[in-house]
Structure 1
Amino acid sequence: MITGFSRRMAVPVCSLCVAGTLALAPATAAAGHRAGEPAPPGPRAAMPQPSLLRRPGTQVRPHPGVPEVPDVSALSWLVADAGSGEVLAAADAHRRLPPASTLKTLFALTVLPGLPAGLRHTVRYEELEEVGEGSSLVGVEEGLSYEVSDLWRGVFLSSGNDAVHVLASLGGGWRATAARMQAKARSLGALDTRVVSPDGYDTPGQVSSAFDLAVFGRAGLRDPDFARYCSTAEARFPGDGWSYAIENTNRLLTGEDGVAPYPGLIGIKNGYTTNAGNTLVAAARRGGRTLVVTVMNPQDEEAFAVYEEARALLDWGFAAAGRVDPVGSLDGLRKASRPASVAAPVAAAAAPAPAPGGGGGPWPPSAAVVGLAGLGAGAVALALRTRGRRAARG
Structure 2
Amino acid sequence: MIIGFSSRAASSACALCAAGVLVLGPAAPAAPAGADPAPAGGARATAPRPALLYRSGTQVRPRPGAPGVPDVSALSWLVADADTGEVLAASNAHRRLPPASTLKTLFALTVLPVLPGDIRHRVTEEELSGIGAGSSLVGVVEGRSYQVSDLWRGVFLNSGNDAVHVLAALNGGWRTTAARMQATARSLGALDTHVLSPDGYDAPGQVSSAYDLAVFGRAGLRNPDFARYCATVEARFPARDGGTYGIVNTNRLLSGTNGVAPYPGLIGIKNGYTSNAGNTLVAAARRGDRTLLVTVLNPQAGGGLRVYEEARELLDWGFGAAGRVDPVGSLDALRTPPKPRPGPAPGLSPGPRPGPEGTSVVATTTLAVDDDGSPWSDAAAIAGAAVLGGVGVALLLRLVGRRRPGGRGR
Other-structure match for 2:159:
159
Letter paired with 1:299: Q
Instruction: State the identity %.
Output: 78
Counterparts of 2:46 and 2:325, CA distance in 1: 16
Structure 1 residues 323 and 122: CA distance shift in structure 2, 3 A: same
What residue in structure 1 maps to residue 172 of structure 2? 172
C-alpha contact 2:271 2:280 (8 A) present in aligned 1: yes
Corresponding position of 2:102: 102
> What letter corresponds to residue 204 of structure 1 in structure 2?
P
Counting only pairs closer than 5 Å after superposition, residues 81-160 of structure 1 correspond to structure 2 as: 81-160=81-160
SS in 1 for 2:258: helix
- Name the counterpart of 1:375: none
SS of corresponding position for 2:334: coil
Deviation at 1:295, TM superposition (A): 0.1
Of structures 1 and 2, the larger Rg is shown by 1
**Counterpart amino acid of residue 166 in structure 1:** V
Pick closer, same or farther for the CA change 1:337–1:60 going to 2, 3 Å.
farther
Q: What CA distance in whole angstroms lies between the structure 1 residues aligned with 2:304 and 2:225?
A: 31
**For residue 251 of structure 1, what is the aligned residue in structure 2?**
252
> In structure 2, what is the equivalent of residue 344 of structure 1?
none
TM-score in terms of structure 1 length: 0.74
User: How big is each residue's C-alpha offset from its partner over 1:186-223, in whole Å with a ceiling of 9 and x where there is no partner?
Assistant: 00000000000000001111000000000000000000
The CA deviation string for residues 132-163 of structure 1, in whole angstroms up to 9 with x for no partner, is: 11100000000000000000000000000000
Judged with a 3 Å threshold, the aligned counterparts in structure 2 of structure 1 residues 337 and 83 are, in CA distance, closer, same or farther, namely farther
RMSD of aligned Cα (Å):
1.4
What does residue 75 of structure 1 align with? 75
The 1:248/1:337 distance shift into structure 2, 3 A limit, reads farther
Alpha-carbon distance, 1:44 to partner:
5.3
Could you tell me which residue of structure 2 aligns to residue 311 of structure 1?
312
Q: Are the counterparts in 1 of residues 279 and 304 from structure 2 also a CA contact under 8 Å?
A: no
- Per-residue deviation, 1:301: 2.6
1:374-389 maps to which residues of 2 (within 5 A)? none
The equivalent residue for 2:332 is 331
User: Counterpart of 2:25?
Assistant: none
Aligned twin of 2:273: 272
Residue 322 of structure 1: CA displacement?
A: 1.4
SS class of match (2:298)? strand
In structure 1, what is the equivalent of residue 346 of structure 2? none
CA displacement at 1:42 relative to structure 2? 11
List gaps (5 residues or longer) in structure 2: 1-40, 340-410
Matched residues, number: 298
Q: Does 1:226 align with 2:226?
A: yes
User: Which residue pairs with 1:191 in the alignment?
Assistant: 191
Shift of 1:172: 0.7
Q: Give the TM-score normalised by the residue count of structure 2.
A: 0.71
Could you say what secondary structure the match of 1:105 adopts? helix
Letter paired with 1:60: V
Structure 1 or 2: larger helix share?
1
Q: Within the alignment, does 1:320 sit opposite 2:321 as a pair?
A: yes
Corresponding position: 1:287 with 2:283: no
Are positions 1:63 and 2:63 aligned together? yes
Q: C-alpha distance in 2, partners of 1:151/1:245?
A: 14
Q: Distance in 2 between matches of 1:310 and 1:67?
A: 16
The C-alpha deviation readout for 1:208-246, integer Å capped at 9, x for no partner, is 000000000000000000000000000000112100000
SS across alignment from 1:55:
coil
CA deviation digits over 1:316-374, x for unaligned, max 9?
Answer: 00011111110000000011159xxxxxxxxxxxxxxxxxxxxxxxxxxxxxxxxxxxx
Q: Distance in 1 between matches of 2:42 and 2:195?
A: 49
Q: Are residues 210 and 132 of structure 1, via their aligned partners in 2, closer, same or farther at CA, if it must alter by over 3 Å? A: same
Q: Compute the displacement of 1:303 (Å).
A: 2.6
1:285, 1:103 → 2: CA distance?
22
What CA distance in whole angstroms lies between the structure 1 residues aligned with 2:43 and 2:333?
A: 25
Kept in 1, the 8 Å contact 2:80–2:292? The answer is: yes
Query: Are the structure 2 counterparts of residues 196 and 66 from structure 1 closer, same or farther at C-alpha, using a change threshold of 3 Å?
Result: same
- Distance in 1 (CA, whole Å) between partners of 2:337 and 2:329 is 16
Quick one: distance in 1 between partners of 2:269 and 2:285?
Answer: 10
Name the CA distance, whole Å, in 2 between partners of 1:42 and 1:167. Answer: 49
Q: Quote the residue 1:29 is aligned against.
A: none
1:355-370 alignment runs, 5 A limit: none
C-alpha offsets along residues 250-281 of structure 1, whole Å, 9 cap, x if unaligned? 00001111111000000110000000000000
User: In structure 1, how many angstroms separate the alpha carbons of the residues matched to 2:258 and 2:210?
Assistant: 25
User: Take 2:304 and 2:175, find their aligned partners in 1: how far apart are those partners?
Assistant: 34
Instruction: State the secondary structure of the residue aligned to 2:162.
Output: helix
SS at match of 1:78: strand
Question: 3-state DSSP class of the match of 2:333?
Answer: coil
Superposition pairs of residues 195-210 of structure 1, within 5 angstroms: 195-210=195-210
Distance 2:79 2:143 in 1: 44
SS in 2 for 1:258: coil
Hey, what's the Cα distance between the residues in 2 that align with 1:79 and 1:242?
Answer: 42
Aligned counterpart, 2:393: none
